[in-house]
Amino acid sequence: MKNWLNYFEHNRTHRAEIDWQKPIELAHALRAPLIRSLQRFQVGESGEGNHLRSHAATTGDPAYQAAIELFIKEEQEHARLMACILQKQNAPLLKMHWSDGCFILLRRLFGLRHELLVLLIPEMIAKRYFRALRDRFDDPALKAVFSQILHDEDGHLGFHVDFLQAALVSLSLPERALLRLVWRLVFRAACLVVIVDHRTILRAVGVSATTFWWDCGLLFDEVAAAILSRAPTPVSARFARILPG
């Protein structure tokens, strides 16, 4: 986990510079859908992370605990960046949203391994979501925010994949198949919720429900294969490129 601690420390000091002094230029047709969508994503990234910290402490690995702390701070930084966008648009922040409450409940029902599997679900979906926003918006502040979050999501996926590969190595083939099936069902339910709840902004940025569904499925297959392969590598080639050095 030392490599990932180095990664998060490096990432903390190499953030995109965002000019908040200039007004954010948004087409009228995009403003309301973006605000409504970011409000929901923002509240999901603003948690304190205390439950995850306590689970990470059970590993007895100081480097992993320190990396988890920096991971949580990155998630909170995402919430701050989205809050800045919303505040620039004079839009209120949500205090809670039912979908975030469902994920919190699911995560708290299990130990560290299963909490991370649940946590990976919004991470994978967020990667496709922020790629859609980055590709559509030309405003410098918006593009910088969405690009930074997208970069961070790559790191988050790689970090959790690396840990879970080792944590689940003892599972038998039937156990892996069952875990993947249940995990996929929960993931697909989450995808459906996001598609319905964020359909306006997805349509506005030119991403159809079918495309979003398909692309999220490809991400899931990639991550699930990396974690649940019977011959896992230290970290999949897809994510290894983000590690410094």
Are 41 and 98 spatial neighbours (Cβ–Cβ below 8 Å)? no
pLDDT digit string (tens) for the chain, length 245 residues: 778 999 999 999 989 889 898 889 888 889 999 999 999 888 877 667 788 888 889 999 999 999 999 999 999 999 999 999 999 999 998 876 655 556 555 656 667 888 899 899 999 999 999 999 999 999 999 999 999 999 999 999 999 999 999 899 899 999 999 999 999 999 999 999 999 999 999 999 999 999 999 999 999 999 999 999 766 555 544 554 555 54
The domain over range 2-9+27-240 is classified in CATH as 3.40.50.261:
no
- pTM exceeds 0.75 for this model: yes
Domain range list for the chain:
2-9+27-240
- Report CA torsion sign: 93, 189, 166, 225: negative
Using CB atoms within 10 A of its CB, is residue 176 exposed (0-12), middle (13-18) or buried (19+)? middle
